[in-house]
């Protein structure tokens, strides 16, 4: 499968715990995006990487959230001290040079108890 | 007011019907327009990508953009039960890399 992959697909955690999600983009795609989607809403932009550089962050990305893309390949999104309001689907998308058609992965569904 | 407005539905139609889905937007900087289909608990899947005002057709799907009215539409002909999903409009500004701004999505149910 050469699409965007995300791991894990589901995560249940207790409030206050830290969680980390991984995204593997389509190979050779140099741009990687993270979005968050809550029930009944469209995805909302969180942050964007071009290669290993994080070029844009949304105000939604509080200081409890951090994202990395070492070596410009896969990316991780970490949420520290999770809150119930963090419960959502976390979506990753990637796009290639010369085009910005964004292809999405299956998402990681986070439930904070 | 949200930058992108989309009726959340649900919209229920019989099999074979023509479906019309719409979004309005307020930001004149939006120049590229997309429609994504999202099945329950899955990631969005790109259906249509348009830039110019006018129509773009792909199989049973037609995307329509009217930049002067800030209004986009997706038409689905000969709708099938497998078309039952949430349809998200998305748009972005110019530049080779830009975040997408989505509508809330319209939930469509095609019944037998």
B44 and A56 in contact by Cβ < 8 A?
no
pLDDT at A60: 82
Measured between beta carbons, the chain B residues lying within 8 angstroms of A106 are 42-43
- With a CB-CB cutoff of 8 Å, which residues 59-98 of chain A face chain B? 89, 91, 95, 97-98
Over residues B32-56, the pLDDT tens digits come to 999 999 999 899 999 999 988 889 9
> Average pLDDT of chain B?
93
Per-position DSSP letters for B2-51, written without gaps between them = -SEEE----EEEETT--EEEEEEE--TT--EEEEEEE-TTS--EEEEEE-
CB B60 within 8 A of CB B78: yes
pLDDT at B96: 57
Please state whether beta strands B85-92 and B71-76 pair in parallel, antiparallel, or not at all (unpaired). Answer: unpaired
High-pLDDT (> 90) share of chain B, %: 82
pLDDT at B1: 78
- Work out the angle at residue A84's Cα, subtended by the Cα atoms of residues A104 and A20, and round it to the nearest 5 degrees: 50
CB B19 within 8 A of CB B79: yes
Q: Which residue bears the tokens 């040079």?
A: A97
Mean pLDDT of B94-103: 82
Minimum distance, in Å, between the CA of residue B83 and any CA atom of chain A:
18
Cα dist from A28 to A25, A98, A101, B91, B100, whole Å: 8, 12, 14, 24, 21
């Amino acid at each position: 499968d050469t699409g965007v992959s995300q791991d894990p697909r589901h995560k249940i955690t207790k409030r206050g715990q830290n969680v980390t999600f991984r995204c593997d983009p389509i190979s050779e795609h140099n741009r990687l995006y993270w979005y968050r989607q809550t029930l009944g809403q469209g995805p909302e932009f969180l942050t964007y990487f071009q290669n290993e550089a994080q070029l844009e962050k949304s105000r939604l990305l509080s200081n409890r959230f951090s994202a990395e893309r070492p070596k410009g390949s896969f990316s991780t999104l970490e949420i520290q001290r999770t809150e119930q309001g963090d419960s959502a689907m976390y979506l990753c998308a990637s796009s290639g040079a010369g085009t910005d058609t964004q292809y999405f992965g299956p998402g990681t569904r986070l439930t904070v108890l | 007011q949200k930058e992108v407005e989309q009726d959340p539905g649900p919209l229920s139609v019989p099999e074979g019907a023509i479906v019309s889905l719409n979004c309005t937007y307020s930001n004149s900087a939006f120049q590229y327009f997309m429609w994504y289909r999202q099945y329950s608990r899955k990631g969005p899947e790109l259906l249509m990508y348009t830039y110019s005002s006018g129509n773009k057709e792909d199989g049973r799907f037609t995307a329509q953009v009217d930049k002067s009215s800030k209004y986009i539409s997706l038409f689905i002909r000969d709708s099938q039960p497998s078309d039952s999903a949430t349809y998200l409009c998305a748009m972005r500004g110019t530049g080779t890399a830009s975040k997408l701004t989505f509508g809330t999505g319209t939930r469509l149910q095609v019944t037998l």
